[in-house]
Amino acid sequence: MTKREKILILILVITTGFTVYYFSVLGIINLPTIPDEFTAVNTTKQKPLEKESDISVPNEKIITLQQVENVGYSFYLGQIDYPSTAPLGDTTKNNITQIIYKANFPKNLLKSVGIIIVNTLAVSEYEYIKTSEGKISMPSFSPDFITGGGIYSGKFGKMSLIFINKTKLSSLSEILTHELGHHIGAQLTSEEWGKYYELRGIPSTTSRRGTNWGLSPQEDFAEVYRSIFTGSKVRTYYGLLVKSGYFYSEETCGELYDRLMDNYKKAKYPNTDPWNMSWDMLFLTEEEAGITSNVELQNCRREVLSNQEKYSADWSLSFSGPPYYSIVDQATRDFMTQIINRLN
């Protein structure tokens, strides 16, 4: 191609481009638009975005966790309180160590959880917990934290946090053991959760968070763990539900209970005069009669526990809190031991 031909082509390209642009301005022709998903991207190298937890905020307060070494246990501990408050003392550290030991909590998991004692009156807006995973922002504490006393944060990378209400330190063993149970539950595989559902009679379609606290499989796991190692009653509604006391008279489920007991007595003691029963018959328990596992009875009791307002008569007849509590059978205890051994 000659130099003259190149010049003519260049003039033609410039003239054509100007003509198209001119007509598009006048609206005679429409230039195609580029869809949003094809918009050009700046390919120059930019500084990576910082993690939100690492962004500095004016007036922020960083809570540092202290690594406590005590009789072969190593755990992270912190506190949120007024600046003038003394650091957590040896008594608190020894109490926590004792709770961890009694709960048979796997030492391997202590490196991935921090325990923070909180004075809710001293919590400020921009407070962060400094961990190996970066800065973790504080949760929003609700009134439930005042009464319940503990929160398990869930996982932030490989790190989790447990918050304990300072005003509930008198119940530290019950509260902390429950929250440690959550951390163990967070390590379960899908297969292990399936086994746990089966052991506790939880419908397979139930979300692990559940519809409310009492019907949450995650809360049930933490409650079962707490019950095994502290001896306290399970407050969730899975497993076998039994009466809170022998002399508790069931209101809503009473008719069904009496019918099941009568059927057992008639089969066990035929031709017995109901006005001349033996002491064994008079003080027969539901466990002895084998009616506790009756599906209809269990569903009725679970319904009563799930709606205190609707079944207030049942709750008012109980002298020790809820009218029923869940028992932990040996198979569930063995399962928990297997999980702990795996994690150790």
Based on the domain organization, do 104 and 154 belong to the same domain?
yes
What does the pLDDT average to over 16-35? 39
Shared domain for 174 and 111, answered yes or no, is yes
The average confidence (pLDDT) of the chain is 84
Confidence of residue 335 (pLDDT cuts 50, 70, 90): very high
* Highest mean pLDDT, choosing among 50-54, 224-228, 279-283, 309-313: 224-228
Give the whole-number percent of the chain exceeding pLDDT 70. Answer: 81
Per-residue confidence (pLDDT) for residue 317, from 0 to 100: 85
Do 79 and 178 sit in the same domain of this protein? Answer: yes
- Cα–Cα distance, 213 to 323 (Å, whole number): 17
CA distances to 90, 215, 295 from 323, rounded to whole Å, are 40, 16, 18
Q: Which of 3-7, 119-123, 319-323 has the lowest mean pLDDT?
A: 3-7
> Has residue 106 been placed in a domain?
yes
Per-residue pLDDT at 58 = 61
Considering the domain architecture, whether residues 65 and 165 belong to the same structural domain is answered as yes
Residue 133 has pLDDT above 90, yes or no: no
Q: Is residue 107 domain-resident?
A: yes
220 is a domain residue: no
Same domain, 13 and 97: no
Verify that 182 and 246 share a domain, yes or no. Answer: no
The residue segments making up the domain with residue 158 are: 61-187
Query: Does the structure show a pLDDT above 60 at 44?
Result: no
- pLDDT of 94: 98
pLDDT at 320 over 90: no
- At a CB cut-off of 8 Å and minimum separation 6, what does 102 contact? 173, 177, 229, 230
Q: Are residues 66 and 138 in the same domain?
A: yes
Task: Report if residue 12 sits inside a domain.
Answer: yes
The pLDDT > 90 percentage for the chain reads 66
Q: Structural domain tally of the chain?
A: 3
pTM of this structure: 0.79
Going by C-alpha positions, the residue among 168, 53, 182, 188 that lies closest to residue 113 is 182
Q: Is residue 45 part of a domain?
A: no
Q: For residue 251, tell me if it sits in a domain.
A: yes
Residues 72 and 173 in one domain: yes
Report if residue 303 sits inside a domain: yes
Report whether pLDDT(73) > 60: yes
Give yes or no: residues 91 and 176 share one domain.
yes
Residue 338 domain flag? no
Question: Are 166 and 116 contained in the same domain?
Answer: yes
Q: How confident is the model at residue 274 (pLDDT cuts 50, 70, 90)?
A: low
Band of pLDDT at residue 56, cut at 50, 70 and 90: low
- Among 187, 222, 257, the domain boundary falls at 187
Flag whether pLDDT at 42 surpasses 70. no
Residues 263 and 170 in one domain: no
Closest CA to 238 of 147, 336, 332: 332
- Say whether both 21 and 95 belong to one domain: no
Amino acid identity at 187: Q
Cβ pair 261, 284 in contact under 8 A: yes
In Å, how far are 182, 188, 301, 323, 325 from 252, measured between CA atoms? 33, 37, 8, 11, 16
